[in-house]
Structures are given as C-alpha cells and as structure tokens.
Amino acid sequence: MTSRLSLLGMVVLGTAGCMVGPNYRRPDVATPSSWGELAPTAPPAGRSDAVMDGTPTAWWTTFDDQLLISLIQRTAESNLTLQQAEARVREARALRRIAAADLWPQVGASGSYTRERTSKNGLSPGGTGKVLNLFQAGFDANWEVDVFGGIRRSVEAADASVEAAEDDRNAVVVSLMAEVGLEYVTYRSLQQRIALANQNLTAQQGTLDLTRRLFDAGLAPELDVQRAAAQVATTASTIPLLEQQTAQAMHALGVLIGQPPMTLQQELAAVGPIPRPPAQVAVGLPSELLLRRPDVARSERQLASQTARIGVATRDLFPRFFITGVADLQSVRASDFFDWQSRALSIGPSVSWPIFEGGRIRANIELQTAAQQELFAAYEGVVLQAFQDVEDALVAFSREQATRAQLDDAVRANERAADLARRLYAQGLTDFLTVLVAEQSVFTSQDTLAQTERDVALELVALYKAVGGGWDAAGTAREVADTGS
C-alpha cells in the first residue's frame, strides 16, 4: 500500500506545475512622447512657460499655504471616505489569505464518547443486551492537490484584487486631496470677493454722499442721487450670496477632515489670500501617467484578476484529486484508551470528475472570458480618458493664466478711469453716468479677476489630479493605510 501511495504522489507532484487558463500579460498601450500643450509645435500664444516636464510632487506644498497643508494632512488622517477605502484593502487582503488557505491540507480534531445498549429483540441479529462504552479521539486531514492550478489561479486573482483595492485607495486619496484644494481655493476666493464688494461699496457710498451734497446745493439732479443709491443697493445685494457660498465651502472642508461642518469656523475666520500657483509646475511625462494614475492602475489590476478567474473556471473541466486521512484512538474501556493497540489509521486518495453538467462549466468559462474582454475595453477607455484629462487640464491652466494677465491690466485701467471720472464729476466737467459706468466697471473687473485668480489655482489642482499627483507624497496614502492595517 505504501508503494502505491508513493506512486500516486509522484504522479500528482509531476503534474502539479500545470496551470490551466491564460497567462496574464500587461496590455501594451501606445503613449505620446510629450503632451500636446508642451510640444514644440504648439501655438506660441497658447503655451505657458509655467508648465514643464518633471515628476509631480505633493502639489499642496507648492502653494506655500500652511493652512492648506494642515487641512490636507488632517484629511489623510481622519477622512471617513478614506477610512472606508482602507477597510476595503483589508477585506481584499483577508480574501487573499482565504484563497491561499486552500493550497494547504485541512486538519481537524474530534473526540466523542458514546454509551450504547443493544437490543436482544431488535432487527440486528446477535444483540446481547449488554451496555457498551466507546471512547474515541483523533485527527482527520483532507488535502486537494492542485494538479491543474485552479487554486493557484484563485490566489493569483486574489493577489490582483488586493492590488486593485490598494490602487482604489490611492485613487480616493488623489480625489480627496484635490477636493480639499478645490474647496479651500474656493473659500479664499469668496473671502476676497466679499472684501472687494465691501471695498467697492465704500467707494460707491462715497459717490452717493457726493451726489446728495451736489443735489442739496442745486448742482446735480435727483436722477444722479437715485442712480447712485441704486448702485449701492445692487452691490450690497451681492454680498449675502457670497457669504452663503463661503459658509458652505467651510462646511465642506470640515466634513472632509472628518469633523462636524462648523469645526473650522474660528480657524478660517481671518481673510486669507487666494493660493497662488508657483512659477513652474511639473506634470511628468505621458509614459509615466499609466503608472501614476491610480484609476488606470486599478483598471489594469482588475483585468489581471479577471484573467486569472478564467483559469479558475477552466479547472472544472478536469478531475480533482484529494488525499484524505484519519488517525485516532478507539477503546471500549477508558483504561485502555491510550494503549498502542487502540490506534486506528486510514489514508487514501480520491478523485472527482464532472462528466455531465449540462454545459454549465463551459458556459461559466465563456462568462469569465466575456467579463475579461469587458474589462480590457474598460482599461483602454480609462487610459484614453486619463490622457484627455491631462490635455484638457493643461489647456485650461494655460489659458486661465493668459486671461489673468489681461484682467490685471483691465483692473488697473478701470480703477484709473473711475478715479478720473469722480474728479471730473466733482468739478462739473462730466455727467454722473460716466461715474456710474466707471465704478461698475471697477467692481466687475475686480470681481472677475478674483474669480480668475481662483480658476488659475483650481485648474492647477485639476491638472495635478489629472496626472495622479499626490497619493504617494508626504505619507498621505501608504503610511496612513499601513497604520490602518
């Protein structure tokens, strides 16, 4: 019997290197050599010298705003969405350990005691009517020998799923860091717009006082007074909405750091400048994007996992081999239980092979193959979308900078024009409509410039999000996840 078992073991181990199903190979994706906005052939008017190739860093540090950096760190530590993503990573790792457990023998222990009296008058012949005791304890083992690699394919799929969960966590980090940046920039821009509205309101109130004095002196019509009063009221009416939006941005930041909405009320009370982008920003090379974008990496790992599942389904076409064994002690007397003669042993191989399943197995293989093809198309789509996101963000960032430069000139010109108009009106050398239009132009251009300053910063945040920047910087992703694990 020993020789037969040895022969079976040699046959099983000799075929154990076989793995059914396709072997995964990372898809080849054509990548451009450079970004269109940075290419030498790009129109000179549309280029920005601030954008350059290089490795993206922790973008929030480039704004040189300590409060923004603090908010990013607190988000990485306490954000509830990130905690959910980290829990999903732990789930995937546990599922991987479950899958890998099938590679090993399963051993169990059992013990029992029964007291039995057989009936003399029962159906079983030979009944004595005596009372019998049976003491029993031992171990049983079962091992499926992974001849065709189905279990190993399951582990392979689980490994890829773990990596996909980690990439998903990193994608959450990228999105959260960008969301904090967007809300913070928006909050600061709203503060600036409120300050500008109050500043213009003061100037317009001074003009209203001037028209009233001129009217009282009989040097200006009542129409000028009413126009000035209407302008003051119109400007004042813009402030409540801005205050509402400011409060909402503050609430959003509080929730992002995992705290109640009003947590940051005192910390954000002081008016601060709109974060200004650095002189130069790095976006990396197109070839690096496939490695840096967590959503691209996640999609690729999902494809790898599904490819392995085809092998898991294919395994069902082949026989499954098992080795089972039992070793225990049995005795009718407790005093003899540990006697060497009380031992009982059994060991042997078994095989199971589905012969007819009504097409279920092959249908499952087709199902897993179709799912793989779906994920392959999804991966290609994610890659294309990633390239589009970067190109769109580059164009938007470049054009917003050009817009800001023009608005700087417009604001200075409008402020000068308004100052001249007030002087000429006070001297009776121009009508009030000129003053009214000039002051409206100042307010409009200043407010538009503040919004453009905001948009420049927002587009830079969007650019860094598009290139997958931030998840591996300053310990915000992997160190936090390791702590949670």
The total of structural domains in the chain comes to 1
- Structural domain includes residue 347: no
Phi-psi region of 329 (alpha: psi -120 to 50; beta: other; left: phi over 0): beta
Closest C-alpha among 109, 144, 140 to residue 323: 144
What letter represents residue 256's amino acid? L
Q: What is the predicted pLDDT for the residue at 485?
A: 39
**348 backbone dihedrals φ, ψ, rounded to 5°:** 180, 160
- Structural domain includes residue 423: yes
Show pLDDT as tens, one digit a residue, over the chain (485 residues): 444 444 444 444 444 557 899 999 999 888 887 777 654 434 444 444 555 555 556 889 889 999 999 999 999 999 999 999 999 999 999 999 999 999 999 999 998 888 887 766 665 665 566 778 888 988 899 999 999 999 999 999 999 999 999 999 999 999 999 999 999 999 999 999 999 999 999 999 999 999 999 999 998 999 999 999 999 999 999 999 999 999 999 999 999 999 999 999 999 999 999 999 887 777 777 878 888 899 999 999 999 999 999 999 999 999 999 999 998 888 888 887 788 887 888 899 999 999 988 999 999 999 999 999 999 999 999 999 999 999 999 999 989 999 999 999 999 999 999 999 999 989 989 998 999 999 999 999 999 999 999 999 999 999 999 988 776 653 443 343 344 43
- Structural domain includes residue 356: no
- Structural domain includes residue 326: no
- Structural domain includes residue 363: no
- Structural domain includes residue 329: no
Strands of 106-117's sheet in order across:
106-117, 131-145, 320-331, 343-352
The CATH number for 410's domain is 1.20.1600.10
Exposed/middle/buried for 66, CB within 10 Å: 0-12, 13-18, 19+?
A: exposed
Q: Give the contacts of 173 (CB within 8 A, at least 6 positions apart).
A: 76, 82, 85, 294, 470, 471, 476, 477
- Structural domain includes residue 407: yes
**232 backbone dihedrals φ, ψ, rounded to 5°:** -60, -45
Q: What is the predicted pLDDT for the residue at 56?
A: 58
**268 backbone dihedrals φ, ψ, rounded to 5°:** -100, 10
The residue segments making up the domain with residue 178 are 22-101+156-317+374-484
- Structural domain includes residue 343: no
- Residues 395 and 88: their CA atoms lie apart, in Å, by 36
